Structure 1
Amino acid sequence: MSQQQARTTQRRRRRELALNLGAVAGLVCIVIAVVSMTFGIKPLVFRSGSMSPQIPTGSLAVARTVPAAQISVGDVVSVDNEAGTRITHRVVAVDPAGGDKVALIMKGDANRVADPTPYLVDHADRVITSVPFAGYVAAWLSSKTAIFLGGVLAGALLMLAFGPLRRSSNDASNDTHQTETLDEPADSSEAKLQEANCG
């Protein structure tokens, strides 16, 4: 295998790798989007230690939206307070509030007392599971730096995926010239040999 063929093979392999990585990343994004829309799944990042030690600061939780009728004492749910601030605490009491709504009394595991005001809701995001400290990674991925680096990586993958595979015309010309140059001595030797035989 010539050096040019080896370089072409390497470029082809890099292109296949880039396409495979892009396909996997795209598939993961599609799966996450479908699961989120179908089952009401959403991520939650814990920015305080009010739910420690079970859910420490920086944890990443996965929550599912459920109707108020399915909320029970002991559940960890996430709701908005009157000021629009997201609160994720444990339910310590559930009181009917008429219709499909309930009044939730909530308390952080690390807090000594319950939240001062009940939360009137007809649905809430109930925590399914959590991963300690993964929230720091999620927060970084949403930062401007991560977005910029992601764009650079995407550009690099595109260059690898769609870079030229064919040899340049200059390389082809050089190969042709080299072939012709190598053929000339052989022709001259044959001519000299024929002349010698004729004499």
Structure 2
Amino acid sequence: MPGRLVGGLVTLLVLAAVAVAVAVAVVPAVTGSRALTVLSGSMVPTLPVGSLVVSRPVDPGSVVVGDVASFVDRDPASGETRTVTHRVVEVAPGPVFTTRGDANAAPDPHPVTAENLLGRLWYHLPWVGGAAGFLRTGPGLVVGGGAVLLLIGLVLLVPKRGGRPGGGTGGARG
């Protein structure tokens, strides 16, 4: 019985890891979407810090007030850019968007033009962005690779359902 419990748990962990990997890497790559990590608390509680957000490209004319959008914010004075995911609070002709983080009292200082729009929030995975970012580093690759090898080892070591430890068939002894 403990073997079945461990086997079921390992299977569940493997399936969860595959599902997260698909959501983090495969879906964005196949759909042309962008996977981004939430770095600040400006969208709390909607998007906790460390969440992975996936924003899908959309026609700028389809973005409406209330949508959560990802965009490139360009500081006109310094020319520096950063990627931001905030809620659209106003749409002007052009279209030009005024955005604001859900936790922020004031709108963002720079309007977002259609050319700076990266996409509309498609889905997010709370706290997965931090892990995904870590897995892109050297130590993260080692830890991630080790975890995959550990799961494979567990799958190979856990007895199959219906089988008996030691490879016996359950036949009569003679």
Q: Same fold (TM over 0.5)?
A: yes
Cα contact 2:58–2:119 (8 A) shared by 1: yes
Could you state the TM-score of these two structures normalised by the residue count of structure 1?
0.55
Amino acid across the alignment from 1:126: R
Amino acid across the alignment from 2:92: D
Counterpart selection for 1:68 from 42, 45, 60: 60
1:38 shift after superposition: 4.4
Question: Identity over the aligned pairs, expressed in percent?
Answer: 33
Give the structure with the larger helix fraction.
Answer: 1
- Structure with higher Rg: it is 1
- The answer on 1:59 being equivalent to 2:51 is yes
Task: Indicate the residue corresponding to 1:186 in structure 2.
Answer: none
- The answer on 1:129 being equivalent to 2:123 is yes
Counterpart selection for 1:143 from 130, 137, 140: 137
Distance 1:132 1:38, change over 3 A: closer
- Please give the secondary structure, in 2, of the residue aligned with 1:85: strand
Cα contact 1:67–1:124 (8 A) shared by 2: no
Task: Indicate the residue corresponding to 2:103 in structure 1.
Answer: 110
Amino acid across the alignment from 2:48: P
- Please give the secondary structure, in 1, of the residue aligned with 2:110: coil
- The answer on 1:93 being equivalent to 2:87 is no
Shifted more, 104-113 versus 83-92: the winner is 83-92
**CA distance in 2 between partners of 1:150 and 1:133 (Å):** 16
Aligned pair count? 127
Could you state the TM-score of these two structures normalised by the residue count of structure 2?
0.62
Structure 1 residues without counterparts, runs of 5 or longer: 1-20, 157-199
Q: CA RMSD in A?
A: 2.8
Distance 1:60 1:154, change over 3 A: closer
**CA distance in 2 between partners of 1:70 and 1:141 (Å):** 34
Structure 2 residues without counterparts, runs of 5 or longer: 1-13, 75-79, 151-174
**CA distance in 2 between partners of 1:58 and 1:109 (Å):** 16
Counterpart selection for 2:39 from 34, 47, 53: 47
Q: Deviations over 1:36-80 (max 9, x none)?
A: 354222212101000001111111112101121111110111101
Task: Indicate the residue corresponding to 1:18 in structure 2.
Answer: none
